Amino acid sequence: MTAGVDTTQTHDGPAAPADPARQSIVRSLLRTPRGLLTVGFLVVLFVASLLAPVVAPHDPLHQELKHALEGPSGQYWLGTDGLGRDVLSRLLYGGRSSLLGVLEGVVAHVIVAVPLGIAAGYLGGWTDRIITRVVDIVMSVPTIVILLALLTMFDRNISAAMITLGALSAAGTTRMIRAAALSVRGELFVSAAELLGLSRPQILFRHILPRCRGVIIVQVSLFAAVALGIQTGLTYLSLGPPPPAPTWGGMVADAASSVSNDPWLLVPAGGLIGITVLCFGILGDTVRDITAQSSTASAGLRAPRRRPEPATGAPEEGALLSVRELSVTFRTPSGDRDVLTSVSFDVQPGETLGLVGESGSGKTVTARAVLGLLENNGAVAHGSARFDGVDLLALPRKRWAALRGKRIALISQEPMVALDPSFTVGAQLREVVRAHDHSGRAEAHERVLELLRLVELPDPEEIVKQYPFQISGGMAQRVAIALALAGRPDLLVADEPTTALDVTVQAEILDLLRRLQQETGMAIVLVTHDWGVVADSCSRVAVMYAGQVVERADVEDVFRHPSHPYTRALMATSPEHAERGRPIAAIAGQVPAPGTWPTGCRFAARCPLMTEACRREPVAMVDLGEGRDSRCLMATSILEGTSA
């Protein structure tokens, strides 16, 4: 389970109030300063060019030779050219043909690329194969040569050239749209719609096309930038409308011929072309950012890292790891959120502590905080984590890094993620072994084989030559365990190590961890949501709910007499305890999201034993003796009730 980091919308994590994916792209675009600026500029440019006959201060063709090559003035805002024509007016009129050309190109581009791309991506099969082949061929055609030929044939008809350009360069965009449509087609909601009897056009227009919108806008605006560049290039070469008709390219050409007498003349035309191209480009980038952002809402946010206030509680006698009053805060777009409050537990050498809870309980965040591996937007606000007498949370990064991997190791839910697919298993293990042991090649190789034998992989000599994708998930987890063991750790943090594995493989991995623990005497913190795994592997348990530890106990006690109503309810939700085909004792409602925690007991809303007192103020841990604590006002009576 991807418990914990609720700021990034994990599985079953509480939902964020607003979702950027569903907001219209235009609205999100206008909300960013970049977007507002570029869209604003382009709109003004388009409108001004369109209204050139109205807004232009002069006739673009009117020559006033006595004012030739003048700089900006009250009468000629941007100066005049070599024939004394008003530069501003010529730019505005020239904009009409330039932007019209771009528009024609874009329309042709869209008409060709969108249907082809969507058809190839959504329909697949032969349609896809034919379209992809044609696209490949078209991409190899030298577009500019064709344009030049076309302009000679059609007597400087720039519209024909731009439409051709739009159609020919649609090949690349077709590919992008095809890829987008292909990935949407793989989404389950499309399968569901098909099964519900929606016709293909209905699915196309309601589900596929809207999800490809982002890609289309990005590609089209980037094409617009290119089209404008080519269009001005063609008119610069006087392949467009013949003089004296104003064109942006033609104006650059005029300016270039008199650049020695009047360098200024280059500025208005060149600048405007540059800015417009830039605007199209930025527009594309911004839309891409907006569409990509929807999946990573808190990307780029950083929580301030400062030394946390140390905790006051004393560590347990002889504990290897002693976490006290650990609080963690995440920075989210809607403000700072506490995700852990005052988490305390101890791990004795050689024992296995189970950190149990549902998603959103904070169990993974706890493990990551202890390892110093919180994401960038998270930080420890308070508390201490004493490992062998040293407070990890107060350590400088470098010393922490030295401990991590050596004395404290981690294995995670996805073993494949821990392994780099581009190196063999042997190479990765060797690298880690050499970093820890500072040993030579041959020695390191021996140690690698020893580690692989330790994790009971058959035929280690063969395994070292394999790449991670060539081995099964269970074997990959064994390799990940071997990696973790390379530094001979005293503490292994195992974050849902068997959740992604098949149940028979899970049993083998748990057996392996138990055997390794007996042989090496290392302590294990086992993060899990599965009570069966707890019963199988743990000696002590800390149950977590909504960012707090609600119960700590020995494993036998917690199963025999759970002292917190949540522990009891969570155990009962297993179908194991229900009669076949009858309702399971489910807990109504769901884990409250960080930021919506009540003042009093956080489980109160779902608790059958809730009283007024539970809601009044935060509930403290109650010491029940014999190493048990419970965060419940009724804990003592619950225990008496069950033991009676």
With binding defined as CB under 8 A, does residue 573 bind another protein? yes
Task: Read off the amino acid at residue 34.
Answer: R
Tokens at 482, concatenated? 């071997």
- As measured in angstroms, the least distance from the Cβ of 536 to another protein is 4
- Scanning the structure block, which residue is given the tokens 């006033």? 64
Tokens at 483, concatenated? 């990696």
Nearer to another protein, 11 or 397 (CB): 11
With binding defined as CB under 8 A, does residue 397 bind another protein? no
Nearer to another protein, 163 or 501 (CB): 501
- As measured in angstroms, the least distance from the Cβ of 524 to another protein is 16
Q: Which of 380, 570, 601, 634 touches another protein by CB under 8 A?
A: 570
CA distance 280 to 277: 5
Taking contact as CB under 8 A, which single stretch among the options 62-70, 115-123, 385-393, 455-463 is the one that binds another protein?
455-463
Using DSSP bridges, classify how beta strands 628-630 and 622-625 pair: parallel, antiparallel or unpaired. antiparallel
CA distance 322 to 315: 6
Q: Which of 31, 62, 133, 200 touches another protein by CB under 8 A?
A: 200
| Residues 321-380 interacting with another protein (rule: CB under 8 A) | 358-359
With binding defined as CB under 8 A, does residue 209 bind another protein? no
CA-CA-CA-CA torsion sign (593, 594, 595, 601) = positive
- As measured in angstroms, the least distance from the Cβ of 422 to another protein is 21
- From residue 405 to residue 444, the character string flagging contacts with another protein as x (rule: CB under 8 A) and all else as - is ----------------------------------------
CA distance 343 to 385: 10
CA distance 37 to 19: 24
Check residue 18 and report its DSSP letter.
-
With binding defined as CB under 8 A, does residue 469 bind another protein? no
SS3 sequence of 575-640: HHHCCCCCCCCCCCCCCCCCCCCCCCCCCHHHCCCCCHHHHHCCCCCEEEECCEEECCCCHHHHHH
> How many chain residues interact with another protein (CB under 8 A)?
80
CA distance 226 to 128: 27
With binding defined as CB under 8 A, does residue 389 bind another protein? no
- As measured in angstroms, the least distance from the Cβ of 265 to another protein is 49
With binding defined as CB under 8 A, does residue 198 bind another protein? yes
Q: Which of 195, 314, 442, 644 touches another protein by CB under 8 A?
A: 195
With binding defined as CB under 8 A, does residue 590 bind another protein? yes
| Residues 57-116 interacting with another protein (rule: CB under 8 A) | none
With binding defined as CB under 8 A, does residue 585 bind another protein? yes
With binding defined as CB under 8 A, does residue 125 bind another protein? no
Report, in this order, helix, strand and coil percent for the chain, each rounded to 5.
55, 15, 35
Nearer to another protein, 335 or 575 (CB): 575
Q: Is 451 exposed, middle or buried (0-12, 13-18, 19+ CB in 10 A)?
A: buried
| Residues 471-530 interacting with another protein (rule: CB under 8 A) | 472-473, 502-508, 510-511, 529-530
**Distance spanning both ends of the chain, measured CA to CA:** 37
Comparing C-alpha atoms, which of 428, 429, 424 is closest to residue 448? 429
- Scanning the structure block, which residue is given the tokens 């169990």? 363
CA distance 467 to 488: 24
Taking contact as CB under 8 A, which single stretch among the options 112-120, 165-173, 399-407, 586-594 is the one that binds another protein?
586-594
CA distance 264 to 259: 8
- As measured in angstroms, the least distance from the Cβ of 256 to another protein is 49
| Residues 4-63 interacting with another protein (rule: CB under 8 A) | 9, 11-19, 21-22
Q: Which of 33, 304, 581, 608 touches another protein by CB under 8 A?
A: 581
- As measured in angstroms, the least distance from the Cβ of 590 to another protein is 6
| Residues 534-563 interacting with another protein (rule: CB under 8 A) | 534-536, 555-556, 559
| Residues 287-306 interacting with another protein (rule: CB under 8 A) | 294
Taking contact as CB under 8 A, which single stretch among the options 102-110, 161-169, 183-191, 328-336 is the one that binds another protein?
183-191
Instruction: Provide the CA 115 distance to its chain's centre, in angstroms.
Output: 29
With binding defined as CB under 8 A, does residue 576 bind another protein? yes
Helix (H) or strand (E) holding 297: none
Q: Which of 58, 185, 207, 324 touches another protein by CB under 8 A?
A: 207
Q: Does residue 227 contact residue 106 with C-beta atoms inside 8 Å?
A: yes
**Pseudo-torsion of CA 35, 36, 41, 47, nearest 10°?**
110
- As measured in angstroms, the least distance from the Cβ of 295 to another protein is 10
CA distance 128 to 121: 7
CA-CA-CA-CA torsion sign (106, 109, 115, 121) = negative
Nearer to another protein, 192 or 613 (CB): 192
- As measured in angstroms, the least distance from the Cβ of 223 to another protein is 25
Nearer to another protein, 194 or 309 (CB): 194
With binding defined as CB under 8 A, does residue 188 bind another protein? yes
